[in-house]
Structure 1
Amino acid sequence: MKSKVSILIQLLLLQYLSVLSVSEDFDFFYFVLQWPGSYCDSQQSCCYPTSGKPEADFGIHGLWPNYNDGSYPSNCDPNNPFKQSEISDLISNLQRNWPTLACPSGNGIQFWSHEWDKHGTCSESVLHQHDYFASALNLKQQANLLQALSNTGIEADGGSYSLSSIKAAVKQSTGFAPFIECNQDSSGNSQLYQVYLCVDISASNFMDCPIFPSSKCPSHIQFPSF
């Protein structure tokens, strides 16, 4: 009987270790910030959150575990769903810095829940839910993108700016080259939409990106007001 119990314990331990190794199996994070003016100035339009119109600043889209080959894990632990109670002290900060713009208007809970369930659960070996959201908020403050662009004369005024100058401004501020994603406004013009920065697996430090997404922007893009 003793030997059977010992074998069972060993099997359970191996199963636990195998789950743990899967959950740690990622190489870096994409930290993605989006410009609300570009989200809203498109054919799909937007809806302001129930807390009101967000500030004219980049908002967090997500903190996404990624592999060096460009693929990524998702929905890693359905047994650890989003719990609002775990981030109750962060709600007002999240509403300011991680606002939802999807329609119909929401309070952000659905957006944050989706990001945790799809992406956050794949990093839970190093970041529990509260740490995941707190880390994203800290990274946004570190990046300070709007100020970085403004420091080089790039303003959200509807003007056209060179893609190279936008990348250079972000790199000058953060120390690392970003990936810029564009979308199209309601007239079909390319505009600055999202900025990707790469972050180490502790979710603390920016780093050189092992790989960038495949989409491309034209050489000059608009930076719409909000």
Structure 2
Amino acid sequence: MISLIRRYIPPSLYCSCSHTNNEYKKLVNILGRQLAIDWPNLNGQKWNNKFWEAQWKKHGTCSLNNFKQLQYFSLAIGIKNKLDILRMLENAGIRPNATVTYNYNDIVDAIKAKIGPFEPELYCVMPHNNVVLLLEVRVCRDAMGATYISCVNNNNSCQGYLINIPE
């Protein structure tokens, strides 16, 4: 079963690759089970640990001045659970379905109804059958994790397409 990946706190280029190994092992011991439920790797790779480490290196290190790893991942889990993207989409009549497609703007508008006027970032893939599949919904927050902000990368690979949300 494929579902949505939720990525939180400012997406950007890699910020810093320091402070990852020792603290990271503690993190997996403390939050590993919860992360497996709330932030699993859905890209077909077998191990979540490498995925979470990549998320920390790429995004979490941007927040090093404000959060340690445990705080960063705990905040991400809390935001994800409070936001509940799948329920938000369902409330707008947008449901995972192998044969139904949705307009990009309808998906974005459903997300904005919850987070305000801030631009989310949608990431899609187009497998061999030319169907555009939603793989990630990214919402961004300020460096303190306190308020939503527009995602600055605007890597919306879904824009301009009809989008399928896999079950």
Normalising by the smaller structure, the TM-score range is: 0.7 to 0.9
In the alignment, what sits opposite 2:144?
Answer: 202
Deviation (angstroms), 1:86? 3.5
1:83 alignment partner, SS class: helix
Residue identity (%): 25
Deviation (angstroms), 1:211? 5.4
Q: Which moved more, 1:202-211 or 1:160-169?
A: 202-211
2:112 alignment partner, SS class: helix
> How far apart are the structure 2 equivalents of 1:149 and 1:84?
35
1:147 corresponds to 2:93: no
C-alpha change, 1:109 and 1:145, in structure 2 (3 Å) is same
CA contact (8 A) 1:190 1:217 kept: no
Deviation (angstroms), 1:201? 0.8
Give the greater-gyration-radius structure (CA).
1
User: Structure 2: any 5+ residue segments left out of the alignment?
Assistant: none
CA contact (8 A) 1:181 1:217 kept: no
Deviation (angstroms), 1:150? 0.3
Deviation (angstroms), 1:202? 0.4
CA contact (8 A) 2:27 2:70 kept: yes
- Aligned counterparts, 1:1-226, within 5 A: 37=2, 57-61=3-7, 63-66=9-12, 72-74=13-15, 76-81=16-21, 82-103=23-44, 105-106=46-47, 108-158=48-98, 159-175=100-116, 176-210=118-152, 212-213=154-155, 215-225=157-167
Structure showing greater relative contact order (alpha-carbon pairs closer than 8 Å, 6 or more residues apart):
2
- 2:18 aligned partner, one-letter code: P
Write the deviation string for residues 137-174 of structure 1: whole angstroms up to 9, x where unpaired.
11212321100110011110121111111111111122
Paired residue total: 164
C-alpha change, 1:162 and 1:215, in structure 2 (3 Å) is closer
CA contact (8 A) 2:9 2:143 kept: no
User: Structure 1: any 5+ residue segments left out of the alignment?
Assistant: 1-35, 38-56, 67-71
Give the TM-score normalised by structure 2: 0.82
C-alpha change, 1:212 and 1:132, in structure 2 (3 Å) is same
CA contact (8 A) 1:63 1:120 kept: yes
Write the deviation string for residues 2-41 of structure 1: whole angstroms up to 9, x where unpaired.
xxxxxxxxxxxxxxxxxxxxxxxxxxxxxxxxxx63xxxx
Q: Which moved more, 1:143-152 or 1:202-211?
A: 202-211
> How far apart are the structure 2 equivalents of 1:101 and 1:194?
9
Write the deviation string for residues 94-122 of structure 1: whole angstroms up to 9, x where unpaired.
0001112345522x222212222333233
Q: Which moved more, 1:120-129 or 1:78-87?
A: 78-87
1:168 alignment partner, SS class: helix
2:74 alignment partner, SS class: helix
C-alpha change, 1:165 and 1:190, in structure 2 (3 Å) is same
